[in-house]
Amino acid sequence: MTDDAPWQSSISEVSANQIFVRGYDIAELMEKISFSDAIYLVLKGNLPDAKSSELFRAILVSCIDHGVTPPSVLATRTVMSAGNSLNTAVAAGIMAIGDFHGGAIEQSARILQEVARKEGDPHSLAISLVRDLKAKKQRMPGLGHQLHTSDPRTIKLLELAKRLGLYGKHAMLAEEVEKIFAGDGKKALPLNIDGAIAAVISDLGFDWQLGKAFFMLSRIGGLVAHAYEEKTTQKPIRKLGDFNTVYIGPPHRTIGD
C-alpha cells in the first residue's frame, strides 16, 4: 500500500446523508436492534443470533458497577472532585483499569484459548494447566475475589451459557481449573466474573485481545453515574480513599545531616 492509498476500514461507511455500520443502514439498526447487539456487531462483524444476543447482553450488564471502592470508581470520583469535566473523570476511571482490575479477563481468555486448542478433554487439560502454573509459580487469572466466596455474577453467567447451549470447551476448562484449586486443600479460589467472562467470550469466538474491552464497555455506564453523582451531591476536594496511612520513610532531618 502506498502512502497516498485510501485508509481502509471494514467497520463503517459514511457519506453525505448515509451511514452504514458493517454494511447495515444505521437508521435500520436504530429501529431493530439493542445497544448490546450493536456492540457485538461492530466487534464481531455480524449480528448475533438470539441466543448469543442474550448471553452477550448479560456479559455487558454483569460489570456495570461494583460499589465505590474499585480503583476505576475511586479514580473517577477523585478526578471529578478536583473540578474536572465528565469526560476527564470517566477517562481517569478507564485508565485505572489494569491487569489486576478488569484486566484478568484478557489474560484468562488468552490462557483458556491457548489450552483449549490442544488435544484432550477439559478435565485432563485443566490438570496439565494447573501443573504448569504451579511449576512456574504463576497464578491463574480469573480466580479468587477479595469479597465474594461465590460470585453471583459468575453463577448466573455460566447458568445462562448452559441454558442457551453456549457452554463450550473454554467454560468447561475454566470450571475444571476451579475444581482442582478447590480440592487441593488450600484456600478456595472461586471463578470470579473476570474468569467467567473470559470463558464465555472465548466460547463465543472473540479474540482474547478484546478482553479488557468487555470490562470497559460494561463499567463505563457505572463510571458516568459515579462521576455525575460526585459532581451533583458532594463537595469538591472531599475526603476520598483510605487516609489510614503510616509514614515509613527516613526520620526527620535537615540539610547537611
Domain-by-domain residue ranges, the chain? 104-205
Distances in Å between the alpha carbon of 253 and those of 135, 246, 249, 250? 47, 18, 11, 8
pLDDT in tens, 61-90: 999 999 888 999 999 999 999 999 999 999
Give pLDDT, residue 7.
87
Q: What does CATH list as the number for 104-205?
A: 1.10.230.10
Predicted pLDDT of residue 99: 86
Residues of the chain under the 50 pLDDT cut: none
8 A C-beta contact, residue 60 and residue 40:
no
178 grid coordinates: 476451579
* 100 and 143 Cβ atoms separated by less than 8 Å: no
Q: What is the pLDDT of residue 142?
A: 85
**Model's pTM, two decimal places?**
0.89
CB within 8 A of 192, min separation 6: which ones? 104, 142, 143, 144, 145, 148, 151, 154
